[in-house]
Chains A and B, each alone.
Chain A
C-alpha cells in the first residue's frame, strides 16, 4: 500500500536556526513528489515538484531534495514568516491524477 510519512509532526526553531523536515514514502513507482506550504485557515500553496532521485529545487530559504525513499525540505536561517504546516505528497506512476498526502509538519519559528 502506498504511504507517505512526515516527521517530525511539529518543530519549533529559533529564528536563524536551520533544520530539515523529512518525508518518507512507499510507492511502487514514483511519478512525482510535491511539497506544499499551508497557513492556518488557507489552502495549500504549491512549492516544489521533484521527479527523480538526486534532484534538488530551491526557493528563497527552502531547498527540497529527493532520494529513492525520502525527501527532505531544508530550511536555512528561517524567519518567523516561514511558520506554517509543510505538506508532502506523492503521485504514483500508474496514477494520472491522484496524489497521496502526508499528515504534515507544523513548523514554528520564534523571533
Chain B
C-alpha cells in the first residue's frame, strides 16, 4: 500500500543535542509538509516543499531546518532542541495539480527532550 512513513516513531534527545527526523513516501506526491503538534492542539505547519521549492512559515523558529534530497524523502533537523520543542512531529504529503488536494499523514514521531 502507498503510504507515508516516519522514523523513528519515538525519539528522546537531550537539551541542545541536534536531532533529525525522517519521512519517506511511496505516493509520488509533489508536496511534503512538516507539522508540529502539541497535546490537544491543531497541527501547526512548520514548512513545506513544493517539488524542490522550500516554503518556510513566518513563525517557524530558526532552530528548525528541513531537507528534501529527492521526491520520496524529507528530513526535519532540530539544531538545538529546547524543552518547548517536545511534541509530535507529523509529516504529510499531497499531490498539487491533481483532482484533489487532501494531505496524507504519517504516523508521527514523538519527540521527548530531557
Q: Render A34-50 as a binary contact track against B, CB cut-off 8 A, 1 for contact.
A: 10100001111110010
Residues B28-56 near A (CB distance < 8 A): 31, 33, 40-43, 45, 48, 50, 55
Assembly CA distance A98 to B33 (angstroms): 9
Q: Is A41 a contact of B41 with CB atoms below 8 Å?
A: no
Q: What residues of A have a CB within 8 angstroms of the CB of B107 in the complex? A: 42-43
Assembly CA distance A83 to B63 (angstroms): 36
Q: Is B101 a contact of A45 with CB atoms below 8 Å?
A: no
The size class of the interface chain A forms with chain B is 20 to 34
Q: What residues of B have a CB within 8 angstroms of the CB of A36 in the complex? A: 105
Residues A45-60 near B (CB distance < 8 A): 45-46, 49
Asked if A79 is at the interface of the complex by the 8 Å CB criterion, the answer is: no
Q: Is B102 a contact of A49 with CB atoms below 8 Å?
A: yes
Assembly CA distance A32 to B98 (angstroms): 13
Q: Is B100 a contact of A102 with CB atoms below 8 Å?
A: no
Q: Is A46 a contact of B108 with CB atoms below 8 Å?
A: no
Residues A86-111 near B (CB distance < 8 A): 87, 89, 91, 96-99, 101-104, 106
Given the known inter-chain contacts A97-B48, A97-B94, please indicate yes or no for A43 contacting B42, CB distance below 8 A.
Answer: no
Q: What residues of B have a CB within 8 angstroms of the CB of A43 in the complex? A: 4, 6, 90, 92, 105-108
Asked if B68 is at the interface of the complex by the 8 Å CB criterion, the answer is: no
Which single member of A49, A87, A96, A102 contacts B50 (CB below 8 Å)? A96
Given the known inter-chain contacts A97-B48, A97-B55, please indicate yes or no for A46 contacting B43, CB distance below 8 A.
Answer: no
Asked if B96 is at the interface of the complex by the 8 Å CB criterion, the answer is: yes
Which single member of B42, B88, B96, B97 contacts A102 (CB below 8 Å)? B42
Q: What residues of A have a CB within 8 angstroms of the CB of B88 in the complex? A: 41
Beyond A41-B88, A43-B4, A97-B96, 19 additional pairs, beta carbon < 8 A: A31-B101, A32-B102, A36-B105, A42-B107, A43-B106, A43-B108, A44-B43, A46-B105, A87-B43, A96-B50, A96-B96, A96-B101, A97-B48, A97-B50, A97-B94, A98-B48, A101-B43, A102-B42, A104-B40
